[in-house]
Amino acid sequence: MQNSGDTAPEWLEGDKKLFSGIKNIFIKNVPSQMERLKDAFASNDISTIELLSHSIKGAAAMIGAMPLKEEAGKVEQAAMESDLDNARVCFEGMEREFKKTLSALQSS
């Protein structure tokens, strides 16, 4: 993770309180979005895959988790192209980065 979870992204200009709030929202909401994304893959729901990967991409950007943002973007792009097989492959990288990000945020 480019942002290790203990420092705020530059755009927050060092506002640790604001970053803490954003971090807590990420920890509260994104795990359930990831579960819903898995369910969408299980049911081949390409529009939900696109929507959730886009949402997670934005959440990752807000906390400065650029590797997760990039992986979510790959899933979103594959879904936009209706390429479910590629989206599944990309999701593996996204899930890996999500776990790293969540772990870093929870330990900070």
The CATH number for 29's domain is 1.20.120.160
3-12, 40-49, 70-79: segment of lowest average pLDDT:
3-12
Q: If DSSP codes are grouped into helix, strand and coil, which group holds residue 13?
A: coil
In a domain, 58, yes or no: yes
> For residue 23, which of 64, 76, 80 has the smallest C-alpha distance?
64
User: Is residue 99 in some structural domain?
Assistant: yes
Q: Output 20 or 47, whichever has higher pLDDT.
A: 47
pLDDT of residue 5: 46
In a domain, 83, yes or no: yes
pLDDT for 23-71, tens place per residue?
999 999 999 999 999 999 999 999 999 999 999 999 999 999 999 999 9
**What's the domain count of the chain?**
1
Domain assignment of residue 1, yes or no: no
Position 18 scores a pLDDT of 83
Residue 76 lies in a domain: yes
Q: Residue 90: pLDDT above 90? A: yes
User: Which of the residue ranges 12-16, 18-22, 54-58 has the most confident prediction, judged by mean pLDDT?
Assistant: 54-58
Is 16 inside a domain boundary?
A: yes
Alpha helices in the chain (DSSP H): 16-42, 46-63, 66-80, 84-106
Q: Is residue 4 part of a domain?
A: no
Instruction: Please report whether residue 71 resides in a domain.
Output: yes
Percentage of the chain lying above the pLDDT 90 cut: 77
Domain of 46?
10-106
